[in-house]
Amino acid sequence: MNAIIVTGGKQYKVAEGDEIFIEKVDAEAGDTLVFDQVLAILDGDKKAKFGTPVIKGASVDATVVKNGKGKKVVIFKYNPKKGYRNRQGHRQPYTKVKIEKIHKTARKAAADAAPAEAEA
């Protein structure tokens, strides 16, 4: 099963077990993220489900693997015959996440389940 999610202004096609690089988010390694902006769920040969624009109640659970910086991109500007040369570098920060579970429908809130366990 695949899903198309939105995070950091970009769209990603993900499946359970995938590790993807997304725009940096404020989370430490081992933290859990929930992506609730799911545009589509593609379930193999079965019928695909598309949202308008998002599927209500659908979500994707992910775990942060690490935060880091990408490879250096060198920006070099020059004007021929003028002696102007300008060199600049940039490393884009990223967060690497592992997709754990794709939920097609809304889940019961953990807060509702906790009191039920306490009473039993």
The DSSP line for 65-94 is EEEEE---EEEEEEETTTTEEEEEEE--EE
Note the pLDDT of residue 30.
Answer: 95
Contact 86, 5 (CB under 8 A): no
Split into its structural domains, the chain has a count of 1
Residues 9-27: pLDDT tens digits? Answer: 999 999 999 999 999 999 9
Measured between alpha carbons, how far is 53 from 37 in angstroms, rounded to an integer?
Answer: 9
Q: Give the range of the structural domain holding residue 80, as residue numbers without chain letter.
A: 2-119
Contact 4, 18 (CB under 8 A): no
Measured between alpha carbons, how far is 47 from 60 in angstroms, rounded to an integer?
Answer: 19
Note the pLDDT of residue 91.
Answer: 98
Q: What share of residues in the chain are helix, strand, coil (percent, to 5)?
A: 10, 55, 40
Contact 90, 72 (CB under 8 A): yes
Confidence of residue 43 (pLDDT cuts 50, 70, 90): confident
- pLDDT at residue 44 tops 90: no
Residues 54-77: pLDDT tens digits? Answer: 999 999 999 999 999 999 999 999
Note the pLDDT of residue 110.
Answer: 53
Residues 75-114: pLDDT tens digits? Answer: 999 999 999 999 999 999 999 999 999 998 877 655 455 5
Average pLDDT, integer, range 17-39: 96
